[in-house]
Structure 1
Amino acid sequence: MSAPAVRLDRVPVLADLLPGARVRDVILTLAGTAFITVAGYIAIPLPFTPVPLSLATFAVLLTGAALGPLRGGFSAGIYLAIGLVGVPLFANGSSGWAFSSFGYIVGYVLAALLVGILARHRSDRTVWSTLGLAVLGSLTIYACGVPWLAAFLGVDLITALTLGAVPFLIGDAIKIVAMSALLPATWRVVDRARR
């Protein structure tokens, strides 16, 4: 006899461990949006690229993993929507869509969804699986951001990669390692507390 299938919506992410339901979900989703916003304001302009160095990517990946695909995706989606209507909450006080790094912000929504789905598959429980989860999330952001950057600047893909990916690889590696330490450690604490 085969083991019963585990329903994906029954595999908890960290946010599911908090009591409540709908009110909890709304509060956590808005808190995720606030986290991404605050992290996005922590930005350093670089003289050799129009894309700023920001902590928003770390916040997006962490939000997606901790909140799951729906809450994490909505958190990033609300961030995108509020910025699109003109509220200057993107890095360097940007808003709207007509700027070089807008594609990365679109990628935030997809990355939060993907990372949330992977967290529902327990990919945030060990260091190695969290590394994979974070790398895939980062690549998703680049997959949206770099082509937008190329089109916006009117440059080829190699130039866009040089401007919009290469300068950020070391920073992203640090963020990925931090996530790979933080999420599994949090799950270990949670598992000990449950026992």
Structure 2
Amino acid sequence: MTIAAPAPRVLADALVRPSTLLRALAADAALVAVGAGLVAVLAQVIVPMWPVPITGQTLGVLLVGASLGAVRGAASLALYAGLGLVGLPVMAPQTDGSHITGLALLATPSFGYVIGFVVAALVVGRLSELQWDRKVPRAIVAFVAGSAIIYAVGLPWLAAVLSTLGVAQGPALLTATLQAGILPFLLGDAVKALIAGALLPLAWAGVRAVDRAKRD
């Protein structure tokens, strides 16, 4: 079955334009896998810290969500989480270089952020489908929103783990959670949002330039 090529909704649609339904499904599966692989690679770019390390994951999540759109972006990050849960060493390494894998990940302080990745990719992907990734100011807003979602999901998980470990209780738990789970990352995440906010509009400008050249 041949399918008509609709106007691209997100960057992946502009770069990958399969001509049949079967090829479209195969392309979607490949894009989801590549997105998960990109985040896994960036997870290895790490500044070791406890309980949550600084990594390149957030940048990957923003780019994957924006490039693939809501469904494929969320599926890609769900695949990434699933790969870790089934035992593959795709998450950020520990301070000694080892990887926690399998169901043990559920007890780690940072796994809440991984769950947040899925939600963030869904939201950023949807905003990209609404063309928020075409211009720098709106793209930055979308990516800041994605980063905020990761914190919104990750911080309660971190607090629960810190409480279980006896690190802090009561009012001190809130302070410990913010100090460990958000304050060290604000500057880096702002830089990542700026980078992603510049890259996506630049990529779209390149797509438009190529399309104009093909028509001329």
When the two structures are superposed, what TM-score results if normalisation uses the length of structure 1? 0.91
Structure 1: 4+ residue segments shifted above 4 A: none
Cα deviation, residue 94, structure 1: 2.4
Contact 1:103 1:144 in 2 (8 A): yes
Number of residue pairs matched by the alignment? 185
**In structure 2, what is the Cα distance between the partners aligned to 1:80 and 1:165?**
21
The 10-residue stretch of structure 1 (156-165 or 132-141) with the greater mean CA deviation from structure 2:
156-165
Deviations along 1:124-177, whole A, 9 cap, x unmatched?
011110111100000000011111111100142232111100100111111011
The 10-residue stretch of structure 1 (75-84 or 150-159) with the greater mean CA deviation from structure 2:
150-159
1:184 paired to 2:190: no
**Structure having the higher Rg:** 2
Three-state SS of the structure 2 residue aligned to 1:16 is helix
**In structure 2, what is the Cα distance between the partners aligned to 1:85 and 1:167?**
30
> 2:180 matched to which residue of 1?
163
> 1:19 matched to which residue of 2?
17
1:140 paired to 2:149: yes
Of all paired residues, the percent bearing the same amino acid is 42
> 1:87 matched to which residue of 2?
88
Q: Let me know the Cα RMSD of the aligned residues.
A: 1.4
Contact 1:68 1:113 in 2 (8 A): yes
In the alignment, structure 2 segments of 5+ residues that lack a partner are 1-5, 19-23, 94-98
Deviations along 1:53-102, whole A, 9 cap, x unmatched?
00011101100000111111111000111111222211012223111100
In the alignment, structure 1 segments of 5+ residues that lack a partner are 1-8
Three-state SS of the structure 2 residue aligned to 1:100 is coil
**In structure 1, what is the Cα distance between the partners aligned to 2:108 and 2:58?**
17
